[in-house]
Amino acid sequence: MKTSMPGSAPRARALRHLMMVPLGAALLTTAGCSKDSLLAVDDPDVATPSSLADPAVLPTLRASVISDFQVAMGAGGEDGVITLGALLADEFIWAETFPTRFEMDVRSTNPINGTLDGIYRSLQRARATAERVERTFAQVQPTNPSRAEVQALAAFTYVMLAEMYCNGIPLSTFDVDAGTPELGEPLSNQVLYTRAVAKFDSALALIGTPATPTAEQSRILNLARIGRGRALLNLGRFADAAAAVAAVPTNYRYNLFHSENSGRQNNGVFLPTQNFPRFSVGDREGINGLPFATDGATDPRVFSPRGNGAPFFPRVGADNITLMNVQTKYMNRSATVVLADGVEARLIEAENQQRTGGDYLVTLNTLRAALPTLITNAALPAAFSPPAIAALPPMSRPAAASAEVDQVFRERAYWMFLTGHRLGDLRRLVRQYGRNAEAVFPTGAFHKGGAYGVDVNYPVPFIETNNSKFVACIDRNA
C-alpha cells in the first residue's frame, strides 16, 4: 500500500501549476526570438589569444613555459633530455624490454621511433611556448624580469636540440593570428648554438647592468650567463665561454622544481629508475664508459648502489635480467633538478684553463674540497650505506695533455651527473678534441647481445618529414 503525508496531494497540484508557468513563459519567449541566438553562447573555458594579452595572465604564462621545459627535461612519466641523453651516452644502460629504447642504448636509432618522437615533440613544444610567451611579455610588460627568464629558457631549448640531435633541425612556428604554420628550414647545430648565444645576449640585455641588482635580477642574469657559456663552449669559443660565466657565484643554482601533486609534475628520472626500473647506471659501459657505479662507492656525486629488491631499490630491471645500479640523485617524485649552477661555471673556466696552460687543477680541486656545500644529491638513509659527504681528495696533474682533458671531462661528468650534459660532452670530445667516436662512446659487444652501432647523436624523427622543407638529417656528425 502506498502512503502519503497529509496534504501532499494539494501541494503536488500546486507545484505542477508553478512549474508550468515558467515553462509556458519560456515557450512564448522562444517563439518571439531568433533560434540562432540560442546557440551564440560564451565559452569561458577557451583562452583566446587576445585574452592572454593581459598583465594579470603573465605569471600563468611564465609557469606554462617552465612546465613545458620541465617535461622536455623529463617529467610526468615522459622520456626527456636527461634520461635519453644518458642512454645514448654512458650514464645509463637499458634494463627493460621496450625496443625503442634498446635502439637508443645500442647507438642505432631508427628515425621511425616512438620514444624519439616524444622527446623531440617535447623539446620543440618547450621552445615554441617560450618564444610565444616572450612575445607576449614584449607586448604587455616589456621590462618585466620574467621576460628575460623566458627568453633564457627558450635559448636553452636551442642548446639541447643541438646537443641531442643531428645536423639539420627545423624550427617551425605557428602564426596564431593567421592560424597557419610557418615551416622551418633544416639548421645545423652550429647555427642553433649561434642563435642560442643571441637569445642569451637578449636576455642579459633585458636585465641590463643595474648597479645593485635585485635577487630576482641576479637569479636570471646568472641563468643567462651560464647558458651563454654552455652555448659558447659548444661553439669551441672557450675563452669567451669562460668570460661569460666569470661573474657567476659558485653557490648559485637555478632549479627545476618537481612535485608529488600530479603526474606531470613528477621527477622524470626517479620514475624510470626507482619506481619502474628501465635504466640502470652504467659502469664502464661498452669499454669506454666511465665507472660511475664503481666510483660511486666513494664518490657521493655518482653513488649508484646495487639494488637489493627493497621498495624503490630494485634488484633487477624490468627485463628481469639486468642487475640494477640504482641512481640516488633523485630519490622521489618531488626531487629537484639543477638546470644551471655555479659549479658548471667553474668547470667551464677549468676547461679553458687546461687548454691555455693555466692551473686548471686549482679550480677543480677547489670544487672537490667544497663538495659538502655544493652537492645537490638527496640525503640518503643509512640502509643505503652511502659514502660520507666530505671533501674529496685533491687530484694530481698527469704527464700527458690528453690525460688532463680526461680529468676535466670526468669531473664534468661526475659533478653534472644525470643533468643532461653528458651526451653533449661526448660529442665535443669527438668534434673539438679530435677523438675517434669509437674511443669515446660505448662500443664493442652490447650487454644484452649483439654489438653497438655508430650513432653519436639522435636523428631528427620521421614525423618531421611532414614538413615539406625537411627530408633527412644533413649529416650525423658529432
CA 299 – CA 420 distance, rounded (Å)? 20
Among the listed residues 162, 190, 90, 196, the one whose alpha carbon sits nearest the alpha carbon of residue 412: 90
- Per-residue pLDDT, 298: 97
- Per-residue pLDDT, 431: 98
Cell numbers given for 353? 684553463
Residue 351 CA to its chain's centroid (Å): 24
CA 375 – CA 365 distance, rounded (Å)? 14
- Per-residue pLDDT, 29: 42
Q: Using only C-alpha atoms, what is the Rg of the chain?
A: 27
Residue-wise burial string across 29-38, b where 16 or more C-beta atoms lie within 10 A, e elsewhere: eeeeeeeeee
> Quick check: 181 and 470 in contact, CB under 8 A?
no
- Per-residue pLDDT, 103: 98
- Per-residue pLDDT, 19: 36
Q: Spelled out in words, what is the top-level CATH class assigned to the domain 54-466?
A: mainly alpha
CA 355 – CA 7 distance, rounded (Å)? 99
* Distances 215 to 137, 222, 225, 340 between C-alpha atoms, Å: 20, 11, 15, 16
Per-domain boundaries in the chain: 54-466
For each of the chain's 478 residues, which pLDDT tens digit applies? 444 433 444 444 443 333 333 433 333 344 445 555 555 666 556 666 667 778 899 999 999 999 999 999 998 777 999 999 999 999 999 999 999 999 999 999 999 999 999 999 999 999 999 999 999 999 999 999 999 999 999 999 999 999 999 999 999 998 877 888 999 999 999 999 999 999 999 999 999 999 999 999 999 999 999 999 999 999 999 999 999 999 999 999 999 999 999 999 999 999 999 999 999 999 999 999 999 999 999 999 999 999 999 989 999 999 999 999 999 999 999 999 999 999 999 999 999 999 999 999 999 999 999 999 999 988 888 878 999 999 999 999 999 999 999 999 999 999 999 999 999 999 999 999 999 999 999 999 999 999 999 999 999 999 999 999 999 999 999 9
- Per-residue pLDDT, 33: 53
- Per-residue pLDDT, 50: 67
| Strand pairing category for 173-175 and 180-182 | antiparallel
Helices 215-234 + 422-431 axis angle, to 10: 40
- Cross-strand pairs, 316: 323
- Per-residue pLDDT, 42: 62
- Per-residue pLDDT, 363: 98
Write the secondary structure of the chain as one string of H (helix), E (strand) and C (coil).
CCCCCCCHHHHHHHHHHHHHHHHHHHHHHHHCCCCHHHHCCCCCCCCCHHHHCCHHHHHHHHHHHHHHHHHHHHECCCCCHHHHHHHHCCCEEECCCCHHHHHHHCCCCCCCCHHHHHHHHHHHHHHHHHHHHHHHHHHHCCCCHHHHHHHHHHHHHHHHHHHHECECEECCEEECCCCEEECCCEECHHHHHHHHHHHHHHHHHHHCCCCCCCHHHHHHHHHHHHHHHHHHHHCCCHHHHHHHHCCCCCCCEEEECCCCCCHHHCECCCHHHHHCCCEEECCCCCCCCCCHHHHCCCCHHHCCCECCCECCECCECCCCCCECECCCCCCCCCCCEEEEEHHHHHHHHHHHHHHCCCCHHHHHHHHHHCHHHHCCCCCCCHHHCCCCCCCCCCCCCCCCHHHHHHHHHHHHHHHCCCCCCHHHHHHHHHHCCCCCHHHCCCCCECCCCCECCCCCCECCCHHHHHCCCCCCCCECCC
- Cross-strand pairs, 173: 182
Q: What is the pTM of this model?
A: 0.90
Residue 118 CA to its chain's centroid (Å): 13
CA 112 – CA 463 distance, rounded (Å)? 8
Cell numbers given for 336? 629537484
Q: Which residue has the cell 607586448?
A: 139
- Per-residue pLDDT, 176: 78
Residue 212, judged by CB atoms within 10 A of its CB (0-12, 13-18, 19+), counts as exposed
> Quick check: 354 and 405 in contact, CB under 8 A?
yes
Among the listed residues 335, 233, 222, the one whose alpha carbon sits nearest the alpha carbon of residue 275: 335
